[in-house]
Every structure is written in structure tokens, then in C-alpha cells.
Amino acid sequence: MAFELPELGYAYDALEPHMDARTMEIHHTKHHNGYTTKLNAAIAGTGLEGKSIEDILTSLDLDNGAVRNNGGGFYNHCLFWTVMNPEDRGYLSGELKDAIESTFGSKDEFIEAFSAAAATRFGSGWAWLCVKEDGALEICSTANQDNPLMPGIGCGGTPILGIDVWEHAYYLNYQNRRPDYIKAFFSVINWNEVEKRYAEAK
């Protein structure tokens, strides 16, 4: 079973004006599609074929550049589309709200710390909110298409929220203004999905 490009679950223009339709379309049909195709090519005929993407990433050989870059790219974008939603976003509540407040002080302080991780990631990469093995929350960032599930990446745990800070994610609409794009991301977060992922990861 080859990996398939997932549907977004909403229209390309559904996150306007925060995420513009042209960026969303290119990001999904070109970038994510490219990672998916190249991941399938990289695992074809190897022992990785048929494994789940989570299994592939958690047992990854970091020297395997094709699987590292494209497997990370496939997984990261799958997560990214689901943690944004034009409707039915919910709001930070329940156990996740409690955990964020006890870990970071308040929702605003969490947003500040997460935004700083995203803004200061040099070059291309991602910022994450992760659930560590002991259940604690952690903010971290990774380069390129690396992912916290990968072993020894220095950012460990199960990611439950992630933002893509590659320029392809924002340049058409925000040019070099990455901080504006990060701020906009917080207007479209699907907290219901983040809470669901938190409950599963904990």
C-alpha cells in the first residue's frame, strides 16, 4: 500500500485571509504531493514498504536522506492540514488547557513561546508542541522536514501541533514577514484536533 496524498477536508480558500488560496493549493498539490511521491519511490522494494508512517519515522536511519526528507515531509504536512480548520475550530479547553497553563503559565505565554520557536528557526523547518514520553508538554523546532518522532533529533515526543515555516508556506502572501504568518496561524488553529491528538499521545 503506497502512501496517498490526503484531502485537506476544506477548500483551498477556506482559510482566507489568514492563509491564501494560491499558497494552499500549491502547498498541497505540489509540495505535499511531491513528498508523497518521492517517499513512495524511496521505500519501494525495501523493508519499509507497508509500514505505517509513524513506524517508519520512529525507527528511521537518519542517514537515509530520501526517507528522512520525504517521510518527514509527508507526515508533517498531514498533521499541518488537520490542525487548521475554517470552521469547528473549538477553543483551548479541558485537559490540554490545564496542561498548557501549568507548563507555560497561560495560553498567551504559550503562544509567545511557540511563536518564538517558529520565528527563530533559521532557514526552513517547523515548530512543534510535543507530548514527551512522561506526558509533559514541550515546545521545540526542527530543521527541514525533520520531525520529533525521529530518533535523536533533539526534539523528542509526539507532535500535536506544528507550523510549517518554510518560505513556501507563506511567501506569496506574507513575503519575508514570517512573524505575521505565525500570528495568522493562531487564527485558524483547530483546537479540537490538537486536543484529540493530546489525549491520544498522553
Closer CB to Mn ion, residue 74 or residue 114? 74
Cell of 191: 483546537
Q: How many residues bind Mn ion (CB under 5 A)?
A: 3
Q: Among 57, 79, 83, 164, indicate the residue that binds Mn ion (CB under 5 A).
A: 164
What is the C-alpha R_g of the chain?
16
Cell numbers 489568514 correspond to what residue? 18
Give the C-alpha separation, 111 to 184, whole Å.
12
Closer CB to Mn ion, residue 170 or residue 198? 170
CB 143 within 8 A of CB 65: no
Backbone angles phi, psi at 127, to 5 degrees: -115, 145
Residue nearest to Mn ion (CB): 164
Closer CB to Mn ion, residue 14 or residue 99? 14
Under DSSP, the state recorded for 7 is P
31-50 binders of Mn ion (CB under 5 A): 31
Draw the binding track, 44-83, toward Mn ion (x: CB under 5 A; -: no contact). ----------------------------------------
- Contacts with 92 (C-beta within 8 Å, 6 or more apart), sequence order: 100, 107, 191
At closest approach, how far in Å is the CB of 65 from Mn ion? 18
One-letter identity of residue 99: A
Closer CB to Mn ion, residue 31 or residue 38? 31
Contacting positions for Mn ion (CB under 5 A): 31, 164, 166
